[in-house]
Amino acid sequence: MHQHAIRLRDSNLGPEYRSDRGHLIEDFYLPALQAATRYDRAVGYFTSSSLALLGQGLDDFTSRDGVMRIIASPNLEQQDIADIEAGYTLRSVLERAALRDLSQAIEVPHAARGLGKLGRLVADNRVEFKLAYISSNNRVGMYHEKIGVFRDGRDLIAFKGSANETRSGLIGNFESLEVFRSWDVRDTDRALRISEDFEDLWHNRTTLLRVLPFTDAVKHVVEQAARDTAHRTDLDELPAHGAPVTIAPTTTDTRGKLAIPQDLLVRDYQKEAVQNWFSHRGRGLLRMATGTGKTVTALAAAAQLASKLHKHDKSLLTVVVVPYQHLVDQWARDIAWFGMTPIRAYESTTAWHQRVADLQHALALGVAEAGVIVTTNKTFGEAPFQRLLADYRGQLLLIADEAHNLGAARLRTKLPPNAQYRLGLSATPERWFDDAGTEALTDYFGDIVFEIGIAQAIQNGALCRYSYWPVLTELDEEEADLYVTVTTRIAKLMAARQGSDPLDDDSPLGALLRKRANILGHARAKLPALKMELEQRRTQSHQLVYCAEGRHPLSLENNSSDPTQLEQVMTLVGTDLHMPAARYTSETKRIDRQDVLNRFSNGTDLQAVVSMRCLDEGVDVPAARTAYLLASSSNPRQFIQRRGRVLRKAPGKDTAHIIDFIVVPPSGASALQHETERRMLRGELARVEEFAQLADNEAHTLDILRPLRKRYGLFDT
């Protein structure tokens, strides 16, 4: 037997442990396991989940050639009870029930790791299992006593209490244990009596109870878990400040932790982004153009960080926050590619809350190397998720996809201060008309540590080349009058606004800015102009139409039931032009969204997808070759994201085409409106110039706008 410095009497174990005064595992079980050489446990419902939670202590126990004896009562399901009543062999039903939980645990990484440690004890003949039950008149009763004994060759500690050897028993429930120490004269008799009770149980000498061997039955399950976890190795250790990062696929078995996939080609600029983030001590914003692989870059950084921390015996919890539910699913698929199954936290709290709590405990105890949770902005900001984050004391990485959203006043106060590592992703981190929100983002995440724009991405071959075609459409007189009225109200509010005041969508100023953008986005002349453009391409596939959100502001003011722009476009494309089309909006069921994108990608039975805002942030539609931009927001984030959607590369796609509907004043506008019209055109032309300067047909685009510039004196724009 190996010598060890710590004895049970040196472990400072007290006479009682209770949930309101401490943690049963950290305060009692682990110190006892770290000192003991023998562990006897008799308990109702001993499940595999507890093996994972005790895994940290099992390492020390195993290193000292520790020996375990476990008596448990299996957790019977209704079918098990029915089989017993039907006359099935009692022993076989009990064994089947006990093996069921152990077999299922192999599929759970941190539980499999605990089973693997136990499997090595089984292989060395240093652990035995027995099943206990009450049998009377062909009916089975369950053994519910809860006692245990730790020994170190000199002393023993006996305990009894309410805690089952299950995850909920040791962590989730309110439990208590009484502890009796053999070296304390007040406890000696009780400690020895509990030890004798266990010996009677083990040797089947207890009245009413039957105890039968189980080690042979369980052997193949725990030994398989041991084989599955024996050869797992870590990725290259990450550098200290300024040292180079090696980001390469791993060829080792990495189930249960993040790892670079073998079939992933990490681009040089993505490696540089990860390097820069580590050089800034694991904090910073990545300004990466849509389509340049922000998700892959972030997961590569998380995988490297988890590996580095593991080499220092630290576990990493990664929390990914995304704007929408469909992006949770999209991230989850990529995370699975990197070797882990994340917890998806959205919708009903009951669906994820306990799983998150269990994961956090497993990480805190060191029995899981890494864990990932993906959640929506909405769930992230709500009290249940916030409480879980606040209570977590381990290593925490927060990844914010489309990080600019978290600068909103309602969310920026929710960012967890206990996240040691922080990574924000966005093509446009700056918040439009919101300096305070932008400043809050950089205060939390850090500065922009890496940047790649669309120009560089096209040059590097990460995005495809494109042509850009602005189509001029006039406001009608009614729309122009409303535009002037709204702009005048905006100017007054802007003049009265304090520079640091937050600009949220639900603020009066935010609502007016949104209304003005909607006047341009819903301009009535766009529909006939769109029809002309579609007619030229009615035989082409992979066409994407971006519509304005909601209803025309004039329809809202007049309480009109006019069809929405999206409804009009669907009629135009599907009914008038006979082009197979589908809508993709926030109202599209999640189960149908992937089907729409798959059909669109195949290009066989679906020529066009008609969408609104929900395609702006993060949804992959690389098959799109032609995009029609009906919604004319002057917010740079929106039009940059929409351009990026159609520039993603795909097999057989060398170039993309963007048709942008630019709103201009009516030709008969009055002189009184001239300055307002100039400002409107400035906003529209800023987008045109942004798009045109990287397009293959830049000169042609600028020629189209020359007459307008001349009319309104905008050659300086």
Q: pLDDT tens-digit profile of 167-199?
A: 333 333 456 789 999 999 999 999 999 999 999
> What digits encode the pLDDT tens for the residues 79-128?
777 776 666 677 777 777 777 766 655 555 455 555 666 666 776 778 88
Segments in 263-375 forming alpha helices (H):
268-279, 294-310, 325-337, 353-364
Same-domain check for residues 410 and 333: yes
Domain count, the chain: 3
Cβ atoms of residues 441 and 285 within 8 Å? yes
Residue 705 has pLDDT above 90, yes or no: no
Give the pLDDT of residue 397. Answer: 97
List Cα–Cα distances, 326 to 334, 407, 669, 686, in angstroms. Answer: 13, 21, 44, 31
Which residue did the predictor score with more confidence, 140 or 413?
A: 413
Confidence of residue 449 (pLDDT cuts 50, 70, 90): very high
Confidence of residue 711 (pLDDT cuts 50, 70, 90): confident
Cβ atoms of residues 261 and 433 within 8 Å? no
Confidence of residue 654 (pLDDT cuts 50, 70, 90): confident
Same-domain check for residues 332 and 476: no
Confidence of residue 360 (pLDDT cuts 50, 70, 90): confident
Same-domain check for residues 186 and 335: no
User: What whole-number percentage of the chain has pLDDT above 70?
Assistant: 77
Average pLDDT, integer, range 24-33: 80
Cβ atoms of residues 464 and 653 within 8 Å? yes
* CATH number of the domain within which 646 lies: 3.40.50.300
Confidence of residue 273 (pLDDT cuts 50, 70, 90): very high
* DSSP 8-state class, residue 654: -
Give the range among 240-244, 456-460, 474-478, 611-615 with minimum mean pLDDT.
Answer: 240-244
Average pLDDT, integer, range 643-652: 80
Same-domain check for residues 281 and 408: yes
Give the pLDDT of residue 669. Answer: 55
* CATH number of the domain within which 205 lies: 3.30.870.10
Residue type, 23: H
Residue 405 has pLDDT above 80, yes or no: yes
The answer to the question of residue 256 being in a domain is no
CA 382 to chain centre: 16
Give the pLDDT of residue 253. Answer: 38
Same-domain check for residues 208 and 321: no
Give the pLDDT of residue 187. Answer: 93
Cβ neighbours for 658, distance < 8 A, ≥ 6 positions apart: 466, 467, 468, 469, 626, 627, 629, 643, 646, 691, 695
Give the pLDDT of residue 220. Answer: 66
Residue 165 has pLDDT above 50, yes or no: no
Residue 578 has pLDDT above 90, yes or no: yes
Give the pLDDT of residue 57. Answer: 58
Give the pLDDT of residue 166. Answer: 39
The answer to the question of residue 242 being in a domain is no
Give the range among 307-321, 449-463, 676-690 with minimum mean pLDDT.
Answer: 676-690
Last residue of a domain, one of 172, 199, 229: 229
The answer to the question of residue 239 being in a domain is no
> What digits encode the pLDDT tens for the residues 584-596?
887 888 778 878 8
Same-domain check for residues 504 and 588: yes
Find, among 133, 66, 52, 54, the residue nearest to 98 by Cα: 133
Going by their DSSP bridges, the two strands 283-288 and 209-213 should be labelled as unpaired
Same-domain check for residues 435 and 469: no
Give the pLDDT of residue 164. Answer: 42
Residue 535 has pLDDT above 50, yes or no: yes
> What digits encode the pLDDT tens for the residues 486-506?
888 888 887 776 554 555 556
Residues spanned by the domain of 158:
8-229
Determine how many CB atoms are found less than 10 A away from the CB of residue 192.
15
Same-domain check for residues 368 and 284: yes
Same-domain check for residues 506 and 605: yes
Mean pLDDT of the chain: 79
Give the pLDDT of residue 173. Answer: 42
Give the pLDDT of residue 690. Answer: 79
The answer to the question of residue 254 being in a domain is no
